[in-house]
Chains A and B, each alone.
Chain A
Amino acid sequence: MSVRDRARRALRRLVEASATERALISLASLAASVLVGAVIVLVAGRTATCEEAAFVLATPRPFGVPELASVGFCYDPVAVFDRLFLGALGDPASPGWDPLNGRMATTLRETAVLVFTGLSVALAFRAGVFNIGTQGQLVVGALATAVAVLWAATFVAGVVGTVVLVPFGVLVGAVFGGLYGAIPGALKAYADANEVVTTIMLNFIASGVALYLVRSVFKDPASPANQTIPLPDHALFPPLLFAPQFGVSILALLFGLLAAGGVFVLLRRTVFGYDLRASGLQPAAAEYGGVDARRTVVASMTLSGALGGIGGAVYVLMVLGKFQTNVPAYGFDGITVAILAGNNPLGVALAAFLFGVLKSGTTVVQFATDVPPQLVGVLRGLIILFVAMPEFFRLLGRRVLPQDRAGGDAVAADGGSEPTGTDRRGGEP
């Protein structure tokens, strides 16, 4: 069973489940991972040492030592999740909440980049290609954008400059990211190279080459860091509502939502989108129906890379204002976003927001509690784990609601009869 076939199967399953069911599974996954995360926090809270309990379980626990009336924990799970989710939005429940606060800004900033990387992964997934290389495509797009816009910014200025330069920068990012994404696409289509392996390797190449180029060619001589010369303000996404220091632009966010809608329409309403989905679902049937499989692979990888490249452009033109080596792992987060969204472009927008909350909340957690912020990483993994096993929730649901026969039947149709849950069988039954 190859990686690609697995990916294809994943896709199939996710498509087969109804949209509502997928949304429910995603929500249930979130809830379940929060529960498991709370247990981890409690266990860690007993392992760590501290002076005062941050959290006390006063009721006698069934497994507790009998003579202990209460057990103290170093970490407070309630506080952690309160900070993680509410803190990331700047405490919407508290009086005098300003929706334009810094926490919210960070959340939306992360969301804006993650929408693109999530779309990048989801689009490739839909075509049956597992693009782990969004990170590399983002790095290439980001560097190209930074260099090209820096060059172009000398010709135009002012509001006109913004109107010209920002789309130009996004275009450059898309082109370079797309070209970089086309490489593994072509390798897959014409040399039968496994895209999982090639894209991972191309990630290393992208960051290495970017480091070399920035260090030796495009370096800002005034800065000790390995970065390009900062772009002038008129070449960046205008901040509009938010204060400029937050590094977030509503325009970029809207652009991201637009892109999500665009990809949705592309997949649902165009011939190319149909071909792409068909090759993802049924490559054989698609080919039989006249779809050029190789061209579709290259095209979808190019498009996927372009979306990753736009993510890089947004990162440069909105967050940093220059290119700097050690780009955060937006590309890898894009994979988790796409999986949580079930590769639905509109779901990507929501999932990107959730991960924006998690990323922004990480800093709040680190700031406001003693709990190691790496917990958020664990949560992220747990969410994906639960999303991966809808069967778990179906079993749970059946146990809780035994009378719900309809749901059970749907499961059987979807899940098949083989208890091992794999498709590695030689012949047809």
Chain B
Amino acid sequence: MDGTRRWFLTRVGAAGVVGVAGCTGGPSGTGGELTPTDGTDTASDADDGTSATRVGMVYATGGLGDGSFNDQAQQGLFEAEAEFEIAYQEAQPEAVGEFGSYQRQFAESSDPDYDLVCCIGFLQTDALTSTSSNYPDQQFMLVDGVVDAPNVSSYVFAEEEGSFLVGQLAGSLTTGEFAAGAGATDPESTTVGFVGGVESDLIRKFEAGFTAGVEHADEDVDVVTNYVGDFNEPSGGKEAALSMIDGGADIVYHAAGNTGTGVFQAAQERGRFAIGVDRDQSLTKESYADVILASMVKRVDTAVYDAIEAAVEGDFEGGGVVSLGLEQDGVDVIYGQQLGAEVGAEVKDAIATSRRAIVDGDISVPTDPDDA
């Protein structure tokens, strides 16, 4: 939905720069000729209406435009905006030390008074632990971390479960001969790759699930792993993926935020495949749809939407931990828009079987790659 808006803004912006600044763009209310209005402007929203539920967003470092984690959270906000009468304000901290400042600022604010503050990302856990106890009347929601406080609703995901499924997909395809879109597997090679952002327990859950899934599909397939050390360094992701691909890996899965863009690019350049994360990246990174086999979606948007919905309807319940796994549709595998149809039915069936087995508890997926 925001794709067309971006496109439009881009062109408008270009006109503004190319022409004499001040002749195009600008506000539609006074003097401006162009009026792109889809109501996502925050300040004007915050100004009108008094009944609207006010939501504060504190994103993870790395910022918006990462095509995965933060954008997915924003997606939930947009969905809620379309559904309910809400007004929101967004903050994109640059460093971990700023999380507390922003959380506090939202909590302290009385004009407007925020009904809910959404904290995205596990790095906010510590800051929120102290903020939530200092502002007991403020409702918070936290994604990817747990704060045990009566005014915080925590959402955690079973990333390893979704990763298991895409691991199985990769393990099944790498051994055979598979060609679709701009990519093809190398039947002689039985290697797949995993590119992580910053090595941390959370990202290791992705790796653990992926590795277990690959092994579930085929014991003989090797998984090569690399942590780039950053969630927003696509060039690092590209080099990591290229070296994996040149070393024989034909499918690379990433859990690295915007760093993963480089992974897609490497796959496209070498005619191999990649697996996206957090969102259906064959949609959000459309230019790479011809190499994205599937995406392990993590419904951060659902978490944000649910929390906002609860706040709007006045039944927000803090103190709980909402675990979102395969069973709750919190994580899932979504096949690529372009390549999904090419994946064989037997592979999909096997993955569907595993999915049921995980939900039923017949397969237990490790959360630490060292335990796998």
Using CB atoms and an 8 Å cutoff, list the residues of chain A in contact with chain B. 42-43, 45-54, 56, 63-65, 68, 70-74, 102, 106, 208, 211, 215, 223-227, 230, 243, 245, 247, 319-320, 324-328, 360, 363-364, 366-367, 369-370, 373
Contact = CB atoms under 8 A, between A and B. Distances in A.
Nearest to B22: A46
A73 B28 CA distance: 9
Nearest to A72: B30
Contacts of A65: 23
Contacts of B183: none
B21 interface: yes
B44 A46 contact: no
B359 interface: no
B338 interface: no
Given A47-B21, A72-B26, 14 more contacts: A46-B22, A50-B28, A52-B41, A73-B26, A211-B229, A224-B201, A225-B123, A225-B126, A328-B95, A328-B97, A363-B91, A364-B105, A366-B92, A367-B89
B366 interface: no
Contact of A71 (B31, B35, B43): B31
Nearest to A65: B23
Given A49-B25, A51-B37, A324 B108 contact: no
A46 B26 contact: yes
B199 A52 contact: no
Nearest to B122: A224
Nearest to A216: B199
A74 B102 contact: no
A70 B12 CA distance: 20
A72 B201 contact: no
Contacts of B16: 46-47
B31 A68 contact: yes
A72 B31 contact: yes
Interface in B141-187: 144-145
B125 interface: yes
Contact of A326 (B22, B32, B36, B96): B96
Given A211-B229, A320-B97, A363-B98, A50 B125 contact: no
Contacts of B26: 45-50, 53, 71-74
B61 interface: yes
Contacts of B357: none
B34 A49 contact: yes
Q: Which among B31, B123, B125, B198 has the highest number of chain A CB atoms within 10 Å?
A: B31
B125 A223 contact: yes
User: Which among B13, B26, B44, B199 has the greatest number of chain A C-beta atoms within 10 A?
Assistant: B26
A43 B229 CA distance: 37
B372 interface: no
22 contacts: A42-B22, A49-B28, A50-B41, A52-B43, A53-B32, A56-B30, A63-B20, A68-B31, A70-B31, A71-B22, A71-B30, A102-B105, A215-B199, A223-B126, A224-B122, A224-B145, A245-B100, A245-B104, A319-B97, A328-B97, A328-B98, A373-B92
Contacts of A367: 89, 91, 102, 105-106, 109
Contact of B125 (A208, A225, A247): A225
A50 B100 contact: no
A52 B198 contact: no
Contacts of B42: 370
Given A54-B43, A102-B104, A326 B200 contact: no
Interface in B79-121: 89, 91-92, 94-98, 100-102, 104-106, 108-109
Contacts of B202: 224
A226 B29 contact: no
A53 B30 contact: yes
Nearest to B56: A367
A47 B96 contact: no
Contacts of A49: 9, 12, 25-28, 32, 34-36
A46 B24 contact: yes
Contacts of B43: 50, 52, 54, 369-370
